[in-house]
Structures are given as C-alpha cells and as structure tokens.
Amino acid sequence: MKDGKVIATLKDAILRSGLKNGMRISFHHHLRNGDGVMNMVLAELAAMGYRDLTLNSSSVFDVQSPIIDHVKSGLVGRIETNYMGAKVGRFISEGGMKEPVVFRSHGGRPSAIENGVTPIDVAFVAAPAADPMGNATGKRGKSACGSLGYAEADARCARHTIVVTDNLVPYPLEDALIQEQWVDGVVSVDSIGDPQGIVSGTTRLTRDPVALAMARTTVDVIRASGLLKDGFSFQTGAGGASLAAATFLKDVMLAEKIQGSFALGGVTGAIVDMLNAGCFRSIMDVQCFDLGAVASIRDNPRHVEISATRYASPTSKSCCVDSLDAAILGATEIDTDFNVNVHTDSNGSIMGGSGGHSDVAAGAKLCIVVAPLIRARLPIVTDRVTTISTPGRTVDVLVTQKGAAVNPGRADLRDRLAEAGVKIADIHDLKAAAEKLTGAPCRPARGTREVAKVMYRDETQIDSIKSVK
Amino acid sequence: MKDGKVIATLKDAILRSGLKNGMRISFHHHLRNGDGVMNMVLAELAAMGYRDLTLNSSSVFDVQSPIIDHVKSGLVGRIETNYMGAKVGRFISEGGMKEPVVFRSHGGRPSAIENGVTPIDVAFVAAPAADPMGNATGKRGKSACGSLGYAEADARCARHTIVVTDNLVPYPLEDALIQEQWVDGVVSVDSIGDPQGIVSGTTRLTRDPVALAMARTTVDVIRASGLLKDGFSFQTGAGGASLAAATFLKDVMLAEKIQGSFALGGVTGAIVDMLNAGCFRSIMDVQCFDLGAVASIRDNPRHVEISATRYASPTSKSCCVDSLDAAILGATEIDTDFNVNVHTDSNGSIMGGSGGHSDVAAGAKLCIVVAPLIRARLPIVTDRVTTISTPGRTVDVLVTQKGAAVNPGRADLRDRLAEAGVKIADIHDLKAAAEKLTGAPCRPARGTREVAKVMYRDETQIDSIKSVK
C-alpha cells in the first residue's frame, strides 16, 4: 500500500479511468493564471486521440488558451465554466465553437454536479500537496494556492477522480479537503503550475482617487445600513476599490469596537489583516487570491477552507452566502434596473463570468455594486446591460464616485442612507451624467448566433450571449 | 437569518421533517452511555403517536434501554445497529422483537447509507456544539465527546437532518464535520446527555498480570512482524491489554527512534500520549474514548477528525483502514479457524457487535486478536464461535497469556515470530489448555428463531443470531 494509488504516468491514469469520447472531464481554477494541469491533460488527451469531450472547469484563464486549438481539433466539443478570460472568450464570441458555452456560478456549478445536471466522468484535480492515497490540499508546497474549495464537488461526485500533484507527501495528509475515499489515481509530475501566476503578492492600497472615493462611500453605505454591528459578516473582492473599502472598514470596526462574525470569499491579505486585527472571528474561504491569504489558511485555524457547496450552492439546505450581511461586488456594466454584467465587454465579447457574483448578490442582505461612472471612455451605467450576469432584484445599491443609487425596491435602505447623509443619486441621473462625458455609447451590432448560455444559480437560463461580428 | 434554522421544540422539528410511520430514523453513539438524545426523541415520537419506525443507530447502549418499551409499544419496528449493549441485547435475544435486528460494521453502515441500502429519512444528530445554521462539532461544550465521525454519513445523506444541541454557538462554527448544507433544523435543549457517561477519565495502566503478559507478547509480535519501522501505523482499543500494549509500544518506538505515520481509531489518552511523544505524525480519529482524546482533537491540528466513510467504508475508493499496518483487537470468543465473535456471550445472548472490528481486521496488514485463554471460567478458544463477527481469514494472530497462535494462512508471519523468539502455540493446543482448566464448555441449547442478522462490511450476511431459550 506504500505506493497507494500512485500511477506512473498521466496517460496510464487516463487509460485506467475508462474515459471515452463524448464524456465530461473537469478541472478547478485554484492555480488561476499559473495552472499547468489543464494544458498538460488536454495535450495528453489529444495525443491519445480523444474526441468530443465536454470540458467543465470552474474557470478558464488566459494561460489555458491552448483550449482554442483543442476546440478546433475536435478534442473539446463543449465547454462549461463559471468564468472565461478574454483570450478564449474572444475565440468563443467570434463563433469558434459549434456548441454554446454553458456559464454557471460558483454556487450553481457544484449544485449541478451533485444533482446530476452535469455529471463528471473524470475529474482532474491539480493538488499542491497530496499523499499516495489521494488525500490532497492546496495549503502547502511550491505551488500552494490555499483553498481547494471549487474542486471538492468534482472530486467527491466524479465517477473517477485523478489527483495530479507536484508535491507527494507521506500518508496521511491530515488537513485534506479532497479526501481519499473519492480518489482513484494519483499522478506525480514535476510541476502543476507557475507560482507567479497562481497567487499575487500582497496588494498595496490603491492611489486612484476615484477608487478611494468609491471605497469611502461604500463604507458609509455599510454603516448607514444598520448592519455594521457585532456579528457583522462581509465579503469583498480583489479590485482596487474593494480592497480599499476593506481597509477603511477595518478602521471603522476597530474604532467602534465592532466584533464581526465572519468574512467570506474569495480572500485577500486585506481580509486576513481584518481577521488578525480582531474585526472577525473567522474567515470562510473558498478561494485564496494572494500570498497573505495562502499563509493564513495554512496557519490559522480560524481561517477555514470551505467547499463551493458550503459557500454558495443554492440546492444545499443552506450555505455561507445565506448568512452574509454585506457584500461588495464589481460590474462591467450595470443597467437602470440594476442588472449587472460581468460576462462581456462593451463589444459583447466574453471576458469574464459570474464566478460567485450572482450567488453573493442573492444571499447578502446588502449587495453593493461598486463601479466608476466611466471606464475606458465608456459609461458603465446603461439602459440595458449587454449580458445579465446578476439580476437587478438581487442588487441593493450602486456606488459610483458621483454618489450611491439605491434599488427602488429598497426604499427602507434609501431612507437610511439619506438620513446618514450619504450622497444619493438616481441611477438614471448617473447614466445621464456618464453619457454627458462620453456621449451615448455606440453599441456595435452583434451576430444572431448564441455562443454562450448564462445559467442562473438555480439552473434557469438568465441570458444568452450572441456572437460578435 | 439570526435564528437561522433554530426550531423552538423537538416536536415542531419532527413535524417539519415530514416523518411518517414506517420511515427510518437515525442516531449516532458518540455520547455513548451518556446519550440523552435518542431517549428524548423516541419519547417525543411516542407521544406524537408514531408507529413502526426503523431505528438505525451506530450503536445502542444500556442507557438507551427505553427502546425496549418502544419496541413493545410498536413505535420501533426494526433496529439496525453496529453494536448493542447487553440490556437491549438480552431483550432481543429472548425474542422481544418481531423483525430481526440488522447488525453492520462501522464501515459497512455509512456505505449502506450512502448506497441506498438503508436510506435515512430523518437523522437526529446530537451535537455538543452547533450554530443556528446547523454547523456542528463534538469538540466543545459541556457534553463534548470529540469526534462526530459516525454521524457524518447520516447528516450528509438523510432526506432531513435535525441537529439537537445543548450548546448553541454563534455562526459560523468553523471546525464543523457536520455542515450546514446538510442540516434542515436545529433544536436547542437543556442537555443532550450526562457527561459522566459520555467519556471516561484517563485510564490508568492495568495491573492485571495476564493483561500485562499479553500486552508484552503483542508488542513482541508487532516487532517481529517487520512492520515496526518508520511510517508504522497502528490501531488499538480501550481494553486493559490494548492500552498496556500501546504503552509498551511507545517505549519501544521511542527507544528505537521509530517515527510512525498515524494512529487510527477509536482513540484514547494512551494514543494521544504516543502522538505527543512523537511516535506518530498524526491521529485519524473517528471516535474519542476518553477526556484525553477529546482535549487533543480539540487543540491539536495533528489530531484529525474523520468520518466513518473515510475511516472504514468498504465502498469508498479507499479508507484509512486500508493503510493500516498493525491492529490490536479483542474477542469474546475465537475459534480454531480464527473466526472472532464480539456479538454474543457464551449463552448466545447479544452483548456487543462488530463496531469497527471486522473493518480493521480486513484492512490491517497485521491483525492481532488479544484474549485470555479463560474469562469468567469459560474458555475463549472454541471449536466454533457462537457468532461470526469477523471472519478468520482476516485475523493473523491470536495472542494469549500462553503464547501466540498464528493463522495457518500466514506461514511467513509464523516464521518471523519463531525466529524472533515469540512463544508460538497451535490454536488447537490453546483450546485444549483452556478446556483442561475449565472442562469442555457446555453449550446451552438455543432457539431456532433468527433474532439478528450479522451483515459483513460488504453487506453479505455473515451469520445469523438465534434466540436464546
């Protein structure tokens, strides 16, 4: 049993998996733009002559653009993902693939896997540390990425699970989110990825005055909402304004001696700083964004690794987002009905995806979308977003550098903000103000072919992404 | 969401569960002979007028003998368990129940739950700490019991899961083996059990010379087997000879600077001492036997809580017992084919069950059964055990105070032991030696009615327990 499930080569592991043409394979994206495993596996599958596979990955990054060739060759026949970088996105938007891409959310994906909507035949789990029986973690090793939360449902539910690691450690690897009872084979390779692309260093506070202004308003909104009290829970992202808001919020919580309950996410060093300063009792972490988060989840028992199911699955009996007070989210576009687009750029070309955006918006008591009025000389507020990623009914406030617009469905919140002196703006006025500076945006004509389906977290189709011309 | 899933009364929680007559309810036994939850729930179900339920519990202890009345009244129509104490056991053996009890093993039970052999309708999970969304642990609280490993499959797979706690803590309870995504309701009660019955204090080393002699021979067998080297893994029980063997083994490992990999179990303070002394890198813990183990699993990240599935499920892709080197197990009887009985006493009356016995025997490279030649004036070695709990083909050595008998199928091991100077005896000679002292045992005549089925871990029936007269 010393060698356990270790298989000499990736090819042998694939042969033993019983993978056949037409089946579905899966990957996680915790190695982000440093991932080497998806490319390695697809190259091997191509060499072995496979055809027409469904590729289900929690995200697709630019480093994975060899996918394009594998689509062209016929190896990859369908793609399902929660996020797609601009390189592969451009290819898809230009009609490079016969079958539309299926977008899900970070909560909808594990739900669909568990419920047999998208059953995984063979899961490939890139693991920064694994033992010979397949227990695996992302917390340790030269390719450490922290949480492996998005890989848990894949490993647990796949018919066959292959762990690929560059750091084989002695049995038993104790702190294993990916557990041996689900794993069929372990393949040891020289490298699962490029550490430079896996995590960023600790991010410095932005100096952008627009971002700083929005961050201050965001914190004002949170304070005025009445949620910022003992037990407060919080999620924010890794963008400049989000990180700045976390920093400002930390100062407020410390000054006012507010003891929050938990921070959720998508975790950065800024959130870890809040934990260490005593702002929160714990961090529930489905994904680490930087080195600070990776070190913390490894060393601090209050920094807890959670599965994507526990994070955000809509068919779980509850999940962490259901208990969330305030969330700060970004937007590529937001329309006057508060619908948010994070899937496509202003030309309609795919360059993103929901990730956890729509899950968090649905769960949080206060969902704040932070976006500048104008980005790259284009207005962010529009009459109608190019693509609906997150429905407006789940968005409470838009914060811009020109004030906050409150969803008309949240009159209670509008009153609170007004009372607290937060600068309130009507979303139509924000749109007009932006267009005054940029002119009305000229929407490029789009094709009629559906290149991607956007599935809401409950697996209903919320939008359709059309080809670009 | 502050109150989350908290329901005011157990009755309300049951009403919401949709439980109907004829359905299957489940319980775990981590509170051992201090459990108050099963009695509380059954009393409530009786008051509500339920009939003909299947009771599936990982064990049934004497404290739960109110079951007898619930069987008589028709509330409990069928019992499935891995262990049954002598009080309820006697009632069953005397024919008190219409349907035969179904015995499984600690590994077979979660497998049967996961695979739909015994689907749980409503799981009741006694929890020493839980938050309002149902995240639960056994590590903290006045009723702390340590690991909740045997409850994991129930909570995860049941159609409806109700957590019952006497220690409601703020959300989120981080280190939760029982996770909110599986939990429907949380009921807060004054007490889930009697701490005196839940865990024992730290056990002192036995002074019984027979037990000490067997413990020394056991350690000699382990040394002679060739397995006691770096990477060694080990499981032992809570009996006198088992604990003494752990103590002696610790001395040997420290003297010889042997760095083991893991201890598995069923964990006592003696095993925790070995971890803390550096004998093992980690403990994989499905159940804590005493206060020392409870404190350690709470405080030491190297002491890991594992589910019963990860521990021993035969239908998992692997489990911890598969990687086990040496295990020390007990026996009520062992026959000349090395079959072991831990289900019934010499009269054939139920007073135990496999628990993990047959799982560990199947997994371990070296399975040592330790038993004195004679107990309560009865020989332990017999021609044929009253009940087969663990098949002889999975048992390697019997250690008695008169030497070690090796399974004929393990000639290699016999040679090693002989070479190392371990006193070897033929198992037939051990039987004869015992009978010389006690006389040939007089087997009481038994009834013909099947009162229990013993299912092996693979769900095949390995034996049938007949009624006593």
Separation between Cα atoms, residue A8 and residue A185, nearest integer Å: 10
Residues from chain B that touch A171, judged by Cβ atoms under 8 A, are 261-262, 323
Amino acid found at A369: V
pLDDT for the residue A204: 75
pLDDT for the residue B217: 98
pLDDT in tens, B323-348: 999 999 999 999 999 999 999 998 99
Burial tier of B204 (Cβ tally within 10 Å: 0-12, 13-18, 19+): exposed
CATH 3.40.1080.10-classified regions of chain A: 6-198, 209-444
Q: What is the DSSP string of A14-60?
A: HHHHT--TT-EEEE--TTGGGB-HHHHHHHHHHHTT--SEEEEES-B
Note whether A322 contacts B1, CB cutoff 8 Å.
Answer: yes
pTM greater than 0.95 (yes/no): yes
Amino acid found at A153: A
CATH architecture assigned to B6-198 = 3-Layer(aba) Sandwich (3.40)
Angle CA(A239)–CA(A241)–CA(A243) in degrees, nearest 5?
A: 65
In chain A, count of helices (H) and strands (E)?
15, 25
pLDDT range class, residue B456, cuts 50, 70, 90: very high
The reply to whether B460 touches chain A by the CB within 8 Å rule is no
Determine the length of chain A. Answer: 469
| Percentage of residues of chain B with pLDDT beyond 70 | 99
Residues 6+ apart with CB under 8 A from A32: A59, A61, A145, A197, A198, A199
In 3-state terms, what secondary structure has residue B129?
strand
Residues from chain A that touch B322, judged by Cβ atoms under 8 A, are 1, 133
Structure tokens at B89: 């056991």
The reply to whether A304 touches chain B by the CB within 8 Å rule is yes
Instruction: Please tell me which residue of chain A has the smallest CA distance to B325.
Output: A1
Separation between Cα atoms, residue A51 and residue B132, nearest integer Å: 49
- Kindly state the DSSP code that residue B8 receives in the 8-state scheme: S
The reply to whether A259 touches chain B by the CB within 8 Å rule is no
Of chain A residues 343-382, which have a CB less than 8 A from chain B? 365
pLDDT for the residue B202: 62
CB A297 within 8 A of CB A305: yes
Note whether B310 contacts A231, CB cutoff 8 Å.
Answer: no
Q: What is the DSSP string of A368-412?
A: EEE--SEETTEESEESS-SS-SB-GGG--EEEETTEEEE-GGGHH
Which CATH superfamily includes the segment(s) B209-444? Glutaconate Coenzyme A-transferase (3.40.1080.10)
Closest approach of A4 to chain B, Cα-based (Å):
8
pLDDT for the residue A1: 47
Structure tokens at A171: 């049995």
Strands A234-235 and A185-188 turn out to be unpaired
Please state, as a whole number, how many other Cβ atoms lie within 10 Å of the Cβ of residue A375. Answer: 15
Which one, of A320, A322, A325, A361, lies nearest residue A341 by Cα?
A361
Q: What Rg, from alpha-carbon coordinates, does chain B have?
A: 22
Angle CA(A162)–CA(A165)–CA(A171) in degrees, nearest 5?
A: 90
Note whether B318 contacts A133, CB cutoff 8 Å.
Answer: yes
Span B216-232, average pLDDT:
98
pLDDT in tens, B374-408: 998 899 999 999 999 999 999 999 999 999 999 99
Question: What does each C-alpha distance from A327 to A111, A246, A370, A455 come to in angstroms?
Answer: 22, 11, 10, 21
Note whether B318 contacts A4, CB cutoff 8 Å.
Answer: yes
pLDDT higher than 90, residue B67: yes
Note whether A161 contacts B317, CB cutoff 8 Å.
Answer: yes
Note whether B301 contacts A175, CB cutoff 8 Å.
Answer: yes
Residues from chain B that touch A174, judged by Cβ atoms under 8 A, are 282, 284, 301-302, 304
Residues of chain A with pLDDT under 50: 1
The reply to whether A179 touches chain B by the CB within 8 Å rule is yes
Query: Between A and B, how many CB-CB pairs are < 8 A?
Result: 107
The reply to whether B181 touches chain A by the CB within 8 Å rule is yes
Residue with tokens 């048992």: B395
pLDDT range class, residue B469, cuts 50, 70, 90: confident
Please state, as a whole number, how many other Cβ atoms lie within 10 Å of the Cβ of residue A446. Answer: 18
- Kindly state the DSSP code that residue B231 receives in the 8-state scheme: T
pLDDT higher than 80, residue B12: yes
The reply to whether A308 touches chain B by the CB within 8 Å rule is no
Note whether A181 contacts B313, CB cutoff 8 Å.
Answer: yes
Instruction: Please tell me which residue of chain A has the smallest CA distance to B305.
Output: A174
Span B411-425, average pLDDT:
97
pLDDT in tens, B149-204: 999 999 999 999 999 999 999 999 999 999 999 999 999 999 999 988 988 766 67
Find the helix or strand (DSSP H, E) in which A266 lies: strand A260-267
